Amino acid sequence: MRKLLVIALVGLAAQLVDGALGMGYGLTSTTLLLVAGVAPAAASASVHLAEIGTTLASGAAHWRFGNVDWRVVRRIALPGAIGAFAGATFLSALSTESAAPWMATILFTLGAYLLVRFSRPLRRNPAAGQLRGRFLGPLGLVAGFVDATGGGGWGPVATPALLVSGRMEPRKVIGSVDTSEFVIAASASLGFLIGLGTGGFLLPMVLALLAGGLIAAPIAAYLVRIIPAQMLGAAVGGVIVLTNARVLLGTADLPSAVPVVVYLLLAAGWVTALVLAVRVLRRTRREGALAAATAPVDDAATHAEGTTSADADSSTRALSGADR
């Protein structure tokens, strides 16, 4: 019972992260399950089964608020489902000894990516036109495969790629990725069911994850207004990097001093990323405050210019009338 309570808290924490960043439920919950001693394939299978419920609720909410581009969902979901099914089948065939370093490598890489992404501003290239299928198809295929084999990765791979394209509103990027993730979670679960059987799903753990996620959903919607995504992304990225570095270092036969040095270097990188995230956040807030402060001045200047022009026109008309 105590372990299930911990798992429910894991689901709650993962949903809080996902609600604030638009990504990270699978990434966070799988990492924490591995720390709790769950086998890699069972962790990914259980997380994806729980995600069927959380992504369905999330997708319905995004659809209700008009945050979904169904054209993008259709073109990214099918390749993503194929990639997720293939990834689940691949992971199911690996032994626990082989799967642990494989999954840790993927999670470590995605955690490092979160550190880099949220320690600097996201640059978007303005572009016109719709996203093409030849871009969405391969993106969905890769993101789906990474998601199933790593226990998470659909959001961290798909969301930034769509944002950087500059051809979609950020709210529609997050809404479309979240909505399509329901198909990816279902496809991955089917792959794990075929590869592992029903015994591969730890149902009490799935229910605990789902319960925690559903409880956290409304809280996350509120916290997203308070907690800066910049700071949360860098913080979560560092936790994921350090946690999975422990697994990777444990698989190698290294002198005792080497892991200590690696941990210190990673910790220094994490602190650096947090400092950069704070600077980016402050700069963004200053620019926002400056823009808000100059807007009324510009409006007043425009109004004054218009009034002056009107007065000048009136004077001109008056002089013309006097001449006549």
- Apex 60 CA angle, 236 and 42, nearest 5: 50
Indicate whether 322 pLDDT > 50: no
Which pLDDT does position 307 carry in this prediction?
53
Which pLDDT does position 220 carry in this prediction?
66
Q: Which residue has the higher pLDDT, 274 or 313?
A: 274
When mean pLDDT is compared across 11-20, 169-178, 294-303, the lowest value belongs to 294-303
Nearest 5°: phi and psi at 3? -65, -40
- Apex 197 CA angle, 192 and 201, nearest 5: 65
What is the arithmetic mean of pLDDT over 36-48?
88
Cα dihedral 234, 235, 240, 245 sign = positive
